[in-house]
Amino acid sequence: MTVASTGGRETRVLAIETSCDETSAAVLQGRGDHVKLESLVILSQDVHRIFGGVVPEIASRAHLTAVVPVVERALHDAGVSLHDVDVIAATYAPGLVGALLVGVSYAKALAWSTGLPVLGVHHMEGHLFATSLEHADAVPPFTALLVSGGHTLLVDVEAWGRYRLLGRTRDDAAGEAFDKVAKLLGLPYPGGPHVERLALRAAELAGGDEARRFRFARPMLRRDQTPEDAEYYDVSFSGLKTAVLNAVRAEQRAAVGGPATQGAVVDGQLVPEATRAAIAGAFQDALVETLVEKTARAAERFGRRRVVLGGGVACNGTLVAAMRARAAGFGGTVHAPAPRLATDNAAMIARAALFRFERGERAPLSLNAYASMPLPGLLSN
Ligand code: KG4
Ligand code: ZN
């Protein structure tokens, strides 16, 4: 048993994350903001690539076969056994219900068989904690931009557990927009890294004028918006995606020298790589400028000097660089997690669980999984 369970100070958490297409387990020990990540195992389900997106049924089955060895490996890497653990945590919402249930059920079974307490963690609260595992300064108060394949949230983090949800997407998540645009440009899934790489080569491939030929409107971004406007912090990416679709189709029509019926040509086909790179760059610029501006609005409005990024899209170097440049204008610093902690992982779940555990929270063995669930600790704006 660790010191925590014997009345001491530190707590050791075993956490399981299975909300989407990563089976992950982590062991973390600590107290308050002083934590040590003892192990992190992430198994990505590559099988979804052939379908161009996550297939929920396949995800659940893959979690089922992976969860036991992944947890065993995390305990092994940490050099501990279940006897050394104080609490078992699992992501219980939001996510794919069948996928979440695998982690939740296994956590409950382990808790029941060992007599240890179990905790359910909100996946997006996990993302809020992720960056603090690497950057000691990524602690509240801060403005958080969480951008993943399923979510786009702008949150003011006054303290751990005290959150103001300022903005969200009205339609597609930022990562989803990257993935759909990648498909239109004939790039593989998941598309974000491919779009970013292609966009980076726009100037080299296309030359100055061609690289600047495309410019897409910044969605829901007008200079005259005020904090009272419903659109001040929210974003929307489906119109931007349609603008990309129209640009690709126009290029395809030009290539065949006449009107082509919608969908008559395969995504990205007939469009030279230089043009596709220019379109990728223009898309990324519009999306990045929108996210950066909305995040800066939130930071300035609440007087925050720290901006914390999270979610898979936080791997995007152009977004991070643009956010840093904008934050410099108000004396702010930007903390972006390493890719391993930006994308789904159990380390962030363990960190959030430690916070909840220290507050005395425990879940009953009737803990269930939920596809959607508001962030805990929401304050009114
Ligand atoms: O957080 P995450 O791993 O999983 C979800 O919870 O969704 O995020 C995955 C998303 C995908 O949409 C992927 O295309 C996007 O993150 N992504 C990127 C980059 N790397 C991953 N988007 C833009 N640029 C990147 N470099
Ligand atoms: Zn996530």
Residue 156: strand, helix, or coil: strand
At residue 115, does pLDDT exceed 80?
yes
With a 6 Å cutoff on the Cβ, whether 178 touches ligand 1 is: yes
Q: How confident is the model over 77-102, as a mean pLDDT? A: 98
**How far does the centroid of ligand 2 lie from the alpha carbon of residue 147, in Å?**
8
Instruction: Select from 123, 178, 185 the residue to mutate for testing ligand 1; criterion: most ligand atoms less than 8 Å from CB.
Output: 178
Q: How confident is the model over 6-13, as a mean pLDDT? A: 76
CA 115/CA 275 separation, integer angstroms = 61
In total, the chain counts a number of residues equal to 381
| Closest ligand 1 atom to Cα of 315 | 26
Q: How confident is the model over 98-102, as a mean pLDDT? A: 98
With a 6 Å cutoff on the Cβ, whether 315 touches ligand 1 is: yes
For 208-236, write each residue's pLDDT tens digit. Answer: 787 789 999 998 999 999 999 989 999 99
Determine contact, residues 196/284, Cβ cutoff 8 Å. yes
For 229-239, write each residue's pLDDT tens digit. Answer: 989 999 999 99
Tokens 């790179």, located at residue:
277
Q: How confident is the model over 70-97, as a mean pLDDT? A: 98
CA 223/CA 231 separation, integer angstroms = 11
**How far does the centroid of ligand 2 lie from the alpha carbon of residue 376, in Å?**
16
Per the DSSP assignment, residues forming a β-bridge with 24 are 17, 42
With a 6 Å cutoff on the Cβ, whether 153 touches ligand 1 is: no
Ligand with an atom nearest the CA of residue 123: 2
**Letter for the amino acid at 206?**
A
CA 262/CA 253 separation, integer angstroms = 10
| Closest ligand 1 atom to Cα of 127 | 1
With a 6 Å cutoff on the Cβ, whether 192 touches ligand 1 is: yes
Q: How confident is the model over 52-73, as a mean pLDDT? A: 93
CA 107/CA 85 separation, integer angstroms = 12
pLDDT for res 98: 97
Q: How confident is the model over 345-364, as a mean pLDDT? A: 98
Mean pLDDT of the chain: 93
Q: How confident is the model over 335-346, as a mean pLDDT? A: 97
pLDDT for res 101: 98
With a 6 Å cutoff on the Cβ, whether 160 touches ligand 1 is: no
pLDDT for res 1: 43
**How far does the centroid of ligand 1 lie from the alpha carbon of residue 316, in Å?**
8
**How far does the centroid of ligand 2 lie from the alpha carbon of residue 363, in Å?**
22
Q: List, in sequence order, every beta strand (DSSP E) within the chain.
A: 11-17, 22-31, 34-44, 87-93, 118-122, 142-147, 152-159, 162-168, 306-310, 333-335
pLDDT for res 3: 44
For 266-312, write each residue's pLDDT tens digit. Answer: 788 889 999 999 999 999 999 999 999 999 999 999 999 999 999 99
Edge-to-edge strands of the sheet including 333-335? 162-168, 152-159, 142-147, 306-310, 333-335
**How far does the centroid of ligand 1 lie from the alpha carbon of residue 315, in Å?**
7
**pLDDT-based confidence at 332, cuts 50/70/90?**
very high
pLDDT for res 366: 98
pTM of the model: 0.94
pLDDT for res 262: 56
**pLDDT-based confidence at 2, cuts 50/70/90?**
very low
Q: Which residue owns the Cα nearest ligand 1 atom 14?
A: 192
Q: Which residue owns the Cα nearest ligand 1 atom 21?
A: 312
Ligand with an atom nearest the CA of residue 21: 1
Determine contact, residues 12/4, Cβ cutoff 8 Å. yes
pLDDT for res 46: 86
pLDDT for res 263: 53
pLDDT for res 230: 85
With a 6 Å cutoff on the Cβ, whether 175 touches ligand 1 is: yes
| Percentage of residues of the chain with pLDDT beyond 90 | 84
**How far does the centroid of ligand 1 lie from the alpha carbon of residue 101, in Å?**
23
At residue 6, does pLDDT exceed 70?
no
Q: How confident is the model over 105-110, as a mean pLDDT? A: 98
CA 120/CA 351 separation, integer angstroms = 12
- Of residues 7 and 111, the one with the higher pLDDT is 111
> Cα–Cα–Cα angle for 19, 16, 6, nearest 5°?
150
Ligand with an atom nearest the CA of residue 122: 2
With a 6 Å cutoff on the Cβ, whether 150 touches ligand 1 is: yes
**pLDDT-based confidence at 92, cuts 50/70/90?**
very high
With a 6 Å cutoff on the Cβ, whether 311 touches ligand 1 is: yes
At residue 264, does pLDDT exceed 90?
no
At residue 206, does pLDDT exceed 70?
yes
Task: Please say whether the dihedral angle defined by the alpha carbons of residues 265, 268, 272 and 275, taken in this order, is positive or negative.
Answer: positive
Instruction: Select from 23, 24, 129, 148 the residue to mutate for testing ligand 1; criterion: most ligand atoms less than 8 Å from CB.
Output: 148
